[in-house]
Structure 1
């Protein structure tokens, strides 16, 4: 269930990160999300990206999902997204950013992120070979953050339990 944080609009605690590797499995994954969950649309460089986004947007509106576009704030406004994901400066109703260490957490807060997706918590297929932060390091970093932290990387509901995180995000967990 989304809640309001001190400086954010309605901010989901559960996020689906889209990925071209999801293929047609993306559609039932979006349909299964609970009302108020978020979708971060990341299909970078994919032919027909805007058409694909519009299909996701229609589903998100019908299902009461928050839809954030990985891109620029100008693009997110033009595409009628609820927010923007990424490092470009600019105002957005919801602004999410990724981080992998303490310096990137600070950078995200300074750039106006409403929440930070801290990753990878655990080993993940999307970043094969990358070492995960693990529960302890994730916890230490999350507790330092001035904005809500969402756990990403090898996440599922069981792994999210007990983490000092505002919420969690995933790709494969929804397939």
Structure 2
């Protein structure tokens, strides 16, 4: 596992943000990301043609704004690729010629450690707090998040129900940064 410089602030995209029209929430969220932040491109449910068109537009936007753009496990990018927890069994280790960051999702300590053993540069640990993306899913909360993040072998990014104040609360507990969807849209 290599330790690349990793962004500490991330936007996860999904279909709710749209992106095919200039007034879709995705573009406002991207404009709120500070230079040097990261984007995990998902939009898993979109047809391939629309997904490719949006991805091309995002690549251009990311280059202009100096943002790291990460693709999914099936569509890696020069910026890297993201492995959802359910897909990690298909990608046990980093390919030696892979470029960019390898990120992975985790929802418990076992998945967190598996992600780092697979070569992930960082882990998105979720849900840190209750989230509108997964209503009813049990949240880790600060104590459990901290127990997992503090002794992790690499950077752990908090995901799920994040706000700036919650990010400040998790930082001393081991969070290397935070990620979200709604936190970049709602103001």
What is the TM-score with the length of structure 2 in the denominator? Answer: 0.84
1:172 aligns with 2:169: no
Alignment gaps of 5+ in structure 1: 1-5
Partner of 1:16: 11
Which string of whole-angstrom CA distances, capped at 9 and with x for unpartnered residues, describes residues 22-62 of structure 1?
A: 12100111122111000000111312111111111110000
Distance of 2:122 and 2:4 partners within structure 1: 11
1:85 aligns with 2:87: no
Please tell me whether the aligned partners of residues 78 and 100 of structure 2 are also in contact (alpha carbons under 8 angstroms).
Answer: no
Runs of 4+ in 1 over 3 A off after TM superposition: none
Partner of 1:107: 114
Distance of 1:31 and 1:142 partners within structure 2: 29
SS at match of 1:70: coil
Partner of 1:133: 140
Partner of 1:3: none
Please tell me whether the aligned partners of residues 78 and 99 of structure 2 are also in contact (alpha carbons under 8 angstroms).
Answer: no
Please show how residues 35-46 of structure 1 align to structure 2 within 5 Å: 35-46=35-46
Distance of 2:127 and 2:137 partners within structure 1: 8
Corresponding residue pairs, total: 165
Shift in Å at residue 162 of structure 1?
A: 2.7
Aligned CA RMSD, in angstroms, stands at: 1.4
Distance of 2:69 and 2:42 partners within structure 1: 11
Which string of whole-angstrom CA distances, capped at 9 and with x for unpartnered residues, describes residues 60-95 of structure 1?
A: 0000001101123xx31xxx4301000334334201
Please show how residues 140-151 of structure 1 align to structure 2 within 5 Å: 140-151=147-158
What is the TM-score with the length of structure 1 in the denominator? Answer: 0.89
Distance of 1:49 and 1:81 partners within structure 2: 17
1:31 aligns with 2:38: no
Distance of 1:71 and 1:56 partners within structure 2: 17
Which string of whole-angstrom CA distances, capped at 9 and with x for unpartnered residues, describes residues 115-151 of structure 1?
A: 0000000000111100100000000010131010000
Distance of 2:109 and 2:166 partners within structure 1: 22
Please show how residues 39-58 of structure 1 align to structure 2 within 5 Å: 39-47=39-47, 48-58=50-60
